[in-house]
């Protein structure tokens, strides 16, 4: 999967979790850009991504991400390890 494909899929996840059909995310987007991005939605984003991409994150990986770009990198890494 390319970075763009992952970003498109993540946009759908973010829109669903923030309940905001117009939300736009970029690799630079971080919790500071979204008021609704709290610890609760963070966990939801991670689990929804796990389901969508068929990967599994470690608990330590759930907390340390600074922005969407790092999440994309993490997902790509896991997809590579899986294949």
* Residue ranges in contact with another protein by CB under 8 A: 13, 16-19, 32, 36, 38-41, 43-44, 46-48, 50-51, 58-60, 62-64
Nearest CB to another protein, comparing residues 25 and 48: 48
Nearest CB to another protein, comparing residues 24 and 51: 51
User: At 68, is the secondary structure helix, strand, or coil?
Assistant: helix
Nearest CB to another protein, comparing residues 6 and 18: 18
d(CA 50, CA 68): 15
Work out the angle at residue 81's Cα, subtended by the Cα atoms of residues 60 and 3, and round it to the nearest 5 degrees. Answer: 85
């Amino acid at each position: 999967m390319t970075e763009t494909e992952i970003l498109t899929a993540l946009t759908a996840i973010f829109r669903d979790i923030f309940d905001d059909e117009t939300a736009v995310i970029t690799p630079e987007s971080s919790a500071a850009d979204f008021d609704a991005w709290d610890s609760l939605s963070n966990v939801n984003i991670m689990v929804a991504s796990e389901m969508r991409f068929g990967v599994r994150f470690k608990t330590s990986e759930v907390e340390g991400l600074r922005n969407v770009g790092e999440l994309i990198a993490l997902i790509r890494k896991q997809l590579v390890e899986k294949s």
